[in-house]
């Protein structure tokens, strides 16, 4: 017992004696081999922290809080900034279909538009996620969007690791302890989320949204906590990573519909122009239709006012400024005439002549139409009023004409109409009433100026009459004075009128001038009336 006490005392003395020396040695060793000690302790610290996090997470959080506090505040600030940028971008997009769609969705779901906008921001556009072993650049696990896969993830991972080492080496040379965070190429982006022995490379179309980034950090955190040892000790055997938990965790970040949703949200700029194009199209169509209608009216008018084809039923159709003529005409002449007349119209770019030449002689409707057209012209020219009845194949004509010649002309023209085979002529030839009385002064046979007008009017009427008729020019005188004298005056007056009509007015009918030894009783005048001094011109019966 005494011996034990002695040994204990000796030990204590020894400890007291060498303690300063040992402490000195440790300090010196620490100063001289700082790097070596750090390298030896480093893996232990990592493992120790991981074990601590697993067992007493809250305690670790408390310990790290002063450091983490700063990081969190920076992270929150960054997240807010990203969110604001995203919201600003959406606002700037203005009145797009997407905005309208969102407004409707918000109404239907009964949530505010802002809430919906925030939830939309959470949708990811991730193409692939690679969990990469930091040291070797080997892909430990990966998941990619089936709608937009990437080629050769292993090659990409190695290349990423090479680029990372290349850049990190340069940064370390500048004594800044920072890591490469992002690589952008075209519209794509690779975001790097670093852990101890591994890192995540997230390949996205466009920027990585704040919410996605948050989720990715969370997943990486859980992978590191659960599989940290396997990652640290990775030597090339992937079987320890082939279990489904890691893959499931990564795949969770990649909901295929999210990318689909993103791409479906991208509306082609053409769609924004669609309403404008539609308005232009309607306006243009209206203008074209109006223009077409105007042109078509002009064409139809032309066909109607061309006498030779007026009576034929010709349809005109318009398509792209090309006129199609359809219908039936009796000859090539009519067909060509219709085409040439329509071609002359400004705005017609071409004529499609589909007129059919047919023998329309036996078409009662066409025959009747032709007769009607002929009579309209005749009645207008000759101031007559001939009407017709057409009972196939007979034409019955009724009315009056003033001369045989015009009647003959009408009948000849009617016979020229194809299909007219029989004409029943009930046309009366009624001569125009030409009876005119020219008055003279007492004892004079000179035609007064006031009477000259009557004679001129008569002369022009006679010119429309046939030459074969005779005209009686009867001169009269009053009963005053000698009978012989009156006789002379009567003949002289008649001759004067005859002379005028024959030599000056050049009438073609045969004139018979004579002096009448009587009063013009037909006028119902008195014997002494000055009105008896006259010449009466009429048809000679």
Partner 1 sequence: MFAYKVVMVGDFATGKTSLIKRFVDNSFSEEYLSSIGVSISKKVLGNSTMMLWDIEGRTEFKPIFKQYLNGAKGFIIVADLTRKNTIESIQEHIKTSLSVVSDAPICIALNKSDIKSDFSVNIEQIKGLSANIISVFKTSALSGDAVEDLFKQLNAKIIKEIAC
Give the three-state DSSP class for 362.
Answer: coil
Closer residue to partner 1 in complex, CB, 174/503: 174
Cβ closer to partner 1: 5 or 176? Answer: 176
CB of residue 135 vs partner 1: minimum separation in angstroms? Answer: 3
Q: Least distance from C-beta 132 to partner 1, angstroms?
A: 11
The CB-of-162 to partner 1 minimum distance in angstroms stands at 5
Cβ 239 to partner 1, closest distance in Å?
6
- CA 434 – CA 539 distance, rounded (Å): 7
Say how many CA atoms lie within 13 Å of 43 toward its Cβ. 8
Residue nearer to partner 1 on the CB measure, 142 or 334: 142
Q: In the window 295-354, what residues touch partner 1 (CB under 8 A)? A: none
Instruction: Rank residues 154 and 257 by Cβ distance to partner 1 and give the closer one.
Output: 154
**Is residue 429 within 8 Å of residue 442, measured between CB atoms?**
no
Tokens of 436: 């005119």
Find the part of the chain contacting partner 1 (CB under 8 A) among 4-12, 86-94, 161-169, 483-491.
Answer: 161-169
The two three-digit tokens of residue 493, written as one number: 């007056």
Q: Report, in Å, the least distance between residue 229 CB and partner 1.
A: 17
| Distance in angstroms (rounded) separating the CA atoms of residues 469 and 511 | 9
Cα–Cα distance for residue pair 410/401, rounded to 1 Å: 10
Q: Smallest distance from the beta carbon of 181 to partner 1, in angstroms?
A: 18
Cβ of residue 242: shortest distance to partner 1, in angstroms? 7
Stretch that binds partner 1, among 111-119, 158-166, 299-307, 481-489 (CB under 8 A): 158-166
* Sheet strands (E) in 311-448: 314-319, 322-329, 350-357, 387-391, 394-401, 422-429, 436-439
**What is the H or E stretch that residue 166 is in?**
helix 153-173
Phi, psi of 92 (to 5 degrees): -65, -25
What is the DSSP-derived secondary structure letter of residue 266?
Answer: -
- Using left for φ > 0, alpha for ψ between -120 and 50, and beta otherwise, residue 436 falls in beta
Q: Nearer Cβ to partner 1, position 234 or 440?
A: 234
Select from 156-164, 175-183, 276-284, 464-472 the region that touches partner 1 (CB under 8 A). Answer: 156-164
Give whichever of 165 and 413 is closer to partner 1, judged by the CB atom.
Answer: 165
Query: Among the candidate windows 97-105, 148-156, 278-286, 328-336, which touches partner 1 by CB under 8 A?
Result: 148-156
Among 90, 96, 105, 158, contact with partner 1 (rule: CB under 8 A): 158
Shortest separation between residue 128's beta carbon and partner 1, angstroms: 17
Least distance (Å) from partner 1 to the CB of residue 59?
Answer: 34
Touching partner 1, residues 211-250 (CB under 8 A): 235-239, 242
Helix H, strand E, coil C: the string for 30-81 is HHHCHHHHHHHHHHHHHHHHHHHHHHCHHHHHHHHHHHHHHHHHHHHHHHHH
Q: Considering the complex, state which of residue 139 and residue 535 has its C-beta at the smaller distance from partner 1.
A: 139
| Bridge partners, 356 (sequence order) | 328
- In the bound state with partner 1, the residue whose beta carbon lies nearer, of 239 and 450, is 239
Q: 309 burial class (0-12, 13-18, 19+ CB within 10 angstroms)?
A: buried
**Segment lying near partner 1 (by CB under 8 A), choices 26-34, 123-131, 147-155, 482-490:** 147-155
Minimal distance in Å, beta carbon 233 to partner 1? 11
Q: Is 373 helix (H, G, I), strand (E, B) or coil?
A: helix
Nearer to partner 1 among residue 136 and residue 405 (C-beta):
136
Bridge partners, residue 355, by sequence: 327
Closer of 178 and 332 to partner 1 (Cβ): 178
Cβ atoms of 229 and 54 within 8 Å: the answer is no
Q: Which two tokens stand for residue 154?
A: 């292993």
Does 152 sit near partner 1 (CB under 8 A)?
A: yes
Kindly state the smallest distance separating residue 137's Cβ from partner 1, in Å: 6
User: Other C-beta atoms within 10 Å of 308: how many?
Assistant: 13
The least CB distance from residue 33 to partner 1, in Å, is 18
Write out the binding residues for partner 1, residues 467-526 only, by CB under 8 A.
none
Q: Which of 51, 71, 76, 155 binds partner 1 (CB under 8 A)?
A: 155
Question: Which is closer to partner 1, CB of 155 or CB of 293?
Answer: 155
Q: How many angstroms separate the first and last alpha carbons of the chain?
A: 195
Residue bearing tokens 């169509």: 285
413 in Cβ contact with 432 (< 8 Å) = no
Site for partner 1 in 101-140 (CB under 8 A): 133-139
Do residues 302 and 345 touch, judged by C-beta distance below 8 A? yes
For position 175 contacting partner 1 by CB under 8 A, the verdict is: no
Handedness of CA 439, 444, 445, 448 (dihedral sign): negative
| Among 68, 83, 118, 163, interactor with partner 1 by CB under 8 A | 163
Residue closest to 537 by CA, chosen among 455, 468, 477: 455
Look up residue 362 and give its two tokens.
């036996």
Q: How many residues bind partner 1 (CB under 8 A)?
A: 24
Contact flag: residue 165 with partner 1 (CB under 8 A)? yes
Residue range at the interface with partner 1 (CB under 8 A); choices 163-171, 317-325, 401-409, 499-507: 163-171
Encoded tokens for 114: 């802002």
Q: How far is the CB of 138 from partner 1 (least distance, A)?
A: 5
- Footprint on this chain of partner 1 (rule: CB under 8 A): 133-139, 152, 154-155, 158-159, 162-163, 165-166, 168-169, 235-239, 242
């Amino acid at each position: 017992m005494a011996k034990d006490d002695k040994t204990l005392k000796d030990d204590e003395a020894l400890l007291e004696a060498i303690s300063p020396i040992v402490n000195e040695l440790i300090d010196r060793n620490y100063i001289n081999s700082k790097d070596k000690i750090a390298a030896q302790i480093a893996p232990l610290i990592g493992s120790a922290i991981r074990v601590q996090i697993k067992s007493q997470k809250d305690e670790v959080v408390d310990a790290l809080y002063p450091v983490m506090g700063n990081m969190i505040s920076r992270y929150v600030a960054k997240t807010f900034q990203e969110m604001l940028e995203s919201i600003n971008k959406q606002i700037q997009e203005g009145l797009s279909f997407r905005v309208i769609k969102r407004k409707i969705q918000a109404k239907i779901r009964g949530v505010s538009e802002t809430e919906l906008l925030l939830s939309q921001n959470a949708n990811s556009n991730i193409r692939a996620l690679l969990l990469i072993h930091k040291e070797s650049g080997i892909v430990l696990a990966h998941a990619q969007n089936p709608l937009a896969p990437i080629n050769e993830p292993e090659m990409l991972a190695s290349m990423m690791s090479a680029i990372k080492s290349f850049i990190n080496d340069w940064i370390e040379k500048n004594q800044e302890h920072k890591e490469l965070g992002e690589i952008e190429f075209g519209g794509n982006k690779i975001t790097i989320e670093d852990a101890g022995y591994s890192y995540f490379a997230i390949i996205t179309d466009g920027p990585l949204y704040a919410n996605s980034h948050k989720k990715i950090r969370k997943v990486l955190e859980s992978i590191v906590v659960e599989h940290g040892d396997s990652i640290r000790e990775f030597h090339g055997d992937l079987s320890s990573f082939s279990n489904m938990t890691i893959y499931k965790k990564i795949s969770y970040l990649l909901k295929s519909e999210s990318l689909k949703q993103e791409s479906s949200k991208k509306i082609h700029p053409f769609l924004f122009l669609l309403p404008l194009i539609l308005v232009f199209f309607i306006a243009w169509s209206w203008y074209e239709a109006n223009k077409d209608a105007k042109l078509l009216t002009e064409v139809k008018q032309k066909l109607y006012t061309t006498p030779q084809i007026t009576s034929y039923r010709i349809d005109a159709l318009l398509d792209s400024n090309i006129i199609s003529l359809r219908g039936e005409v009796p000859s090539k002449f009519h067909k060509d005439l219709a085409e040439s007349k329509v071609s002359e119209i400004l705005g017609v770019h071409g004529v499609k002549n589909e007129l059919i030449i047919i023998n329309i002689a036996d078409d009662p409707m066409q025959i009747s139409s032709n007769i009607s057209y002929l009579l309209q012209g005749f009645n207008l020219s000759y101031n007559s009023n001939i009407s017709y009845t057409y009972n196939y194949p007979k034409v019955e004509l009724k009315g009056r004409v003033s001369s045989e010649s015009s009647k003959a002309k009408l009948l000849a023209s009617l016979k020229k109409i194809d299909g007219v085979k029989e004409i029943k002529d009930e046309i009366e030839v009624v001569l125009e009433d030409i009876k005119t009385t020219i008055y003279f002064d007492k004892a004079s046979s000179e035609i007064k100026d006031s009477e000259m007008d009557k004679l001129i009017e008569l002369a022009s009427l006679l010119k429309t009459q046939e030459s074969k008729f005779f005209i009686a020019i009867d001169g009269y005188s009053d009963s005053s004075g000698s009978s012989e004298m009156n006789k002379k005056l009567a003949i002289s007056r008649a001759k004067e009128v005859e002379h005028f009509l024959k030599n000056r007015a050049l009438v073609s009918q045969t004139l018979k001038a004579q002096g009448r030894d009587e009063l013009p009783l037909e006028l119902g005048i008195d014997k002494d009336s000055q009105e008896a001094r006259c010449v009466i011109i009429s048809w000679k019966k």
